[in-house]
Structure 1
Amino acid sequence: MTITQTLRHTDAARADWVRACRVDDLEPSWGEAVLLRMRQIALFLLGPREVYAVAHEDPANGAPVMARGIVGSRGDRPTVASPLHKEVYDLGTGDCFTDPSLALHTFRTRIVGGFIEIELESP
């Protein structure tokens, strides 16, 4: 069992769960980047069973930096702020709080046997 986020821009019927890393490989509230199926994905561990996965590319300019973003919250929503331009994104939905024209691609996650898995489009 795990926290599961909204799947954005992905057809769930054509998706597979892909193992990313061990839960113990992540530091709480600190992002790490993984490369899965030629996609750079930023992972954030916010609690023992609360993991978020988003595109590593900054929506504002495409730079691969989101894993180095600043983790925080807006109300009860977990967020990450771009380290470049400081736009703030909801980690669960990808919505941008500071610029509604931007959105961060999000992925569903789950924890199985101590490993984090991410739902990705089938090749």
Structure 2
Amino acid sequence: MAPRSDPVEWAPVCRLAELEIERGAAALVHGQAVALFRTDETTVYALANPDPFDRHQVLAKGIVGVSEGVPFVASPLHKHGFDLRTGQCLDEPHVSVAAYDVQVVEGVVLVGQRKSVAA
């Protein structure tokens, strides 16, 4: 599977095998601190790493889980949950973190642009 041919810049971050399932990892992508989360054999999500409640770079250290079918990470500081698909806070609907497009090509995790926020 080849990367998309649109103008999105896909940054290779790591090999899929380097990410542990249900654990986070921090990376610098396009100059931004990003938290990567591998939830199963092939699925990887990327969110901005800062906790929006205090701006500490900690989301990659959060607890990964699923609640009512929603994959999430709980901040290790304030325990707020964030939807891994969208970055939306599950506890405070007016708060969110940036979510990024992710694809895996030939075993390499690529992070693309920030997802647009649904209105």
TM-score, length of structure 1 as denominator length: 0.84
Number of aligned residue pairs: give it: 110
Matched, 1:28 2:29: no
Matched, 1:50 2:60: no
Q: CA RMSD in A?
A: 1.4
Q: How far apart are residue 14 of structure 1 and its match?
A: 5.5
Pick from 88, 93, 111: which aligns with 1:118?
Answer: 111
What secondary structure does 1:109 align onto?
strand
Q: How far apart are residue 55 of structure 1 and its match?
A: 0.4
**Equivalent residues in 2 for 1:22-101 (5 A)?**
22-101=15-94
Unaligned 5+ runs, structure 1:
2-12
Q: How far apart are residue 100 of structure 1 and its match?
A: 1.2
Unaligned 5+ runs, structure 2:
115-119
What secondary structure does 1:78 align onto?
strand
Q: Deviations over 1:73-109 (max 9, x none)?
A: 1211100011110111110011111111210110010
TM-score, length of structure 2 as denominator length: 0.86
